[in-house]
Structure 1
Amino acid sequence: MFAEINGARIFFDVEGKQFVPEGPVMKEKQVCFVVHGGPGCDHGDYCPVLSPLSDYMQLVYIDYRGNGRSERTKKEEYTLDQNVEDIEGLRKYLGLDKIYLLGQSYGGYVGQAYGIRYPENLSGLVLITTACDHSVHEKGIAELEKLGTEEQIQMGKDYLWHGTFPNNEEYDRYYKVFMDLYSYKVRTGEVSREEAEEEIRRGIPSYEAVNQWFGGEQLTFDFREELHTITCPTLVIGGRHDWVAPVSFTYEIADLIPKGKAVVMENSSHSVFTDEPEETLKEIISFILDHEKQKEKGV
């Protein structure tokens, strides 16, 4: 479904009910916005693995403008700031008060930026395999030089690091070439490449969106001095073998957010939902249930 938000048609999908019967009353569940990585991807990767979470929360999956099924507007609008304002616009459009926000990779950047700007609108925040400043760019280059094949290293230089993908076909090919770096279990052979590539085939690529980020804000963003303003409980999940956002960022973000908690998935790279889906989901559900219990106690 679509909503007209800040001059663009933003696609969102909903999983789970907001009100469920509990004895003689209808109990209201919390609403969680799910924002995807990339940019240049869509929300589809998260639907299978996060579906059990809808037993506890109503999930609202969002495609950023210029991504997935959302409207392609001017590429100059594909910015972190615009993503934050579109999320806030959708929250208002849906008539919601406080929400949870779950973001992975680039979605974690969006989550941090939203939490800094609108801390009063968050009940909780889940940040997965993400970073807090532009040093992630140089660290990613260094990790790729260390771990990558010649083809992967060259493709990073040709396309990724400068935001110069020429079309969606090459952007799709990038993920196939890099699959064993994104998934630790593809690297070790525990998950087949074909199984992992199903996610790529399901997705809707947008090379313009990824180019806009990697050729611009990726080189300058920095949340570190403002993360202390995020007041809600925050779960930060990292992958021990993550080359995109090394696990040191997981600890740093959790340290800088007053109610931050770091959890590291020991057998995961960047794609924790491919490598350790059940374990990752268990941590998220535990975090949410613990927080909701604390709220009921008035803590």
Structure 2
Amino acid sequence: MRARIRDTEIYFDIDGAGLVPDGGAMRERPTGFLIHGGPGSDHSGFKPSMSPLAEHMQLVYFDHRGQGRSGRGDPARYTLDENVEDMEALRRHLGLGPIASIGTSYGGMVAMAHAARYPQSVSRLVLIVTAAQGGFILRAQQILRERGNAEQIAAGDTLWAGGFRDEEQLQRYYDAMGPLYAVRHDPVAAAATRGRGIGSPDAINRAFGPDGFLRRLDLRPELARITAPTLILAGRHDWICPPEFSEEIHRLIPGSTLRIFEDSSHSIRVDEPEALRQAIAAFVAG
């Protein structure tokens, strides 16, 4: 499905009922927005790993502008601020009240900013393997030099240079980096998952290149404005958003809860999928 909002077209998909029979009445389930990372990827990475959450809430998947199946446009507008406004416009377009906002990696950054700027629009906030400030890039560069092999370090150099020329080169980056993203990396399964997605080199270059907007990111001054109950989930072995950045978010969001998955890297949904789903479902159910 597609929504014409603001100056673009956002692709979205819905999984699960919003109203379910409960004895002699109909019970309304919460609606959860699943916000994908990257930038430069799409919502397909959530399927099927997060699909069982539809037993507990209605799920709304969507692709950020310029990514996946959403409309393209001026790459200068492929920014976090635009993604936040698109997300809020989609919530209103769908006629929804406060949502459970579930963001992973870059999607967690979008979710954080949205919850701070539109606190009345969010009932629950789940932040998965993310960071609130651009310092995560310098730290990731350091970790990559310590842990990475020659191929992975070279792939990282392309990321930091904003040098992806096409989708095929972006695919090769994820092939090389897979063992760093997931402790339980399975190259065959990972290739099949990525084959279902649509990569967007312009979006990832715009974020991570030498003048990328993520290098200037600093959401820390905004976090005290978040009023929604917040669950922060990190992977102990995460190389690109290491747990120290989740710990910082936890200190800055009043009343938040932090959980570190000891057997996970950046892709908790690959390393500990059932535990991840259970944590999210229990938290959103309140």
TM-score of Structure 1 vs Structure 2, range by shorter chain: over 0.9
Residue of structure 2 equivalent to 1:161: 160
CA contact (8 A) 2:29 2:57 kept: yes
Q: For 1:1-299, what aligned pairs fall within 5 Å after superposition?
A: 1-157=1-157, 159-186=158-185, 192-215=186-209, 216-289=212-285, 291=286
- How many angstroms does 1:211 deviate by? 0.5
Counterpart secondary structure, 1:49: coil
4+ residue runs of structure 1 moved beyond 2 angstroms? Answer: none
Letter in 2 for 1:269: S
In structure 2, the residue matched to 1:189 is none
Which secondary structure does the structure 1 equivalent of 2:161 belong to? coil
Query: Any stretches of 5+ residues in structure 2 without a counterpart?
Result: none
Task: Please report how far the alpha carbon of residue 84 of structure 1 lies from its aligned counterpart in structure 2 after TM superposition.
Answer: 0.5
Which amino acid in structure 2 is aligned with residue 276 of structure 1? E
CA distance in 1, matches of 2:177, 2:154: 11
Report deviation, 1:253: 0.8
Q: Distance in 2 between matches of 1:125 and 1:103?
A: 8
**Partners of 2:174 and 2:154 in 1: how far apart?**
14
* C-alpha distance after superposition, 1:183-231 (max 9, x if no partner): 1112xxxxx3212222111111000000011121111101112211101
C-alpha distance in 2 between matches for 1:99 and 1:251: 24
CA distance in 2 between partners of 1:174 and 1:122 (Å): 34
Aligned 8 A contact 1:106 1:130 in 2: yes
Distance between the aligned counterparts of 1:60 and 1:240, measured in 2? Answer: 28
User: What's the CA shift for 1:259?
Assistant: 2.5
Offset, 1:139: 0.2
Q: Distance in 1 between matches of 2:258 and 2:202?
A: 33
Q: Match of 1:258, SS?
A: coil
Q: Structure 2: which amino acid aligns with 1:174?
A: Y
Give the Cα–Cα distance (whole angstroms) in 2 for the partners of residues 179 and 262 of structure 1: 25
Percent identity of equivalent pairs: 44
Conservation of the 8 A alpha-carbon contact between 1:196 and 1:274: no
Question: For residues 176 and 47 of structure 1, what CA distance do their matches in structure 2 show?
Answer: 19
Query: Which secondary structure does the structure 2 equivalent of 1:185 belong to?
Result: coil
Shift of 1:95: 0.8
Report deviation, 1:170: 0.4
What secondary structure does 1:226 align onto? helix
Contact 2:113 2:222 in 1 (8 A): no
For 1:158-183, what per-residue CA distance to the aligned partner results, in whole angstroms no more than 9, with x for missing partners?
Answer: x1012121111100110001110001
C-alpha distance in 2 between matches for 1:139 and 1:153: 14
Contact 2:33–2:102 (8 Å) recurs in 1: yes
3-state DSSP of counterpart to 2:241: coil
How far does the alpha carbon of each residue in 1:235-266 deviate from its partner, in whole angstroms, 9 at most, with x for none? 11000000010111112112211121101111
Secondary structure of the residue aligned to 1:213 is helix
Residues matched between the structures, number: 284
Tell me the C-alpha RMSD between the 2 structures: 0.9
Contiguous gaps of at least 5 residues in structure 1: 187-191, 292-299
Question: 3-state DSSP class of the match of 2:101?
Answer: strand
1:44-72: CA deviations, max 9, x gaps?
Answer: 11121111111111000010010100011
- Check conservation: 1:232, 1:259, Cα contact below 8 A: no
Q: Scaled by the length of structure 1, what TM-score is found? A: 0.93
Distance, in Å, in 2 between the alignment partners of 1:140 and 1:241 is 12
**SS in structure 2 of the partner of residue 225 of structure 1:** helix
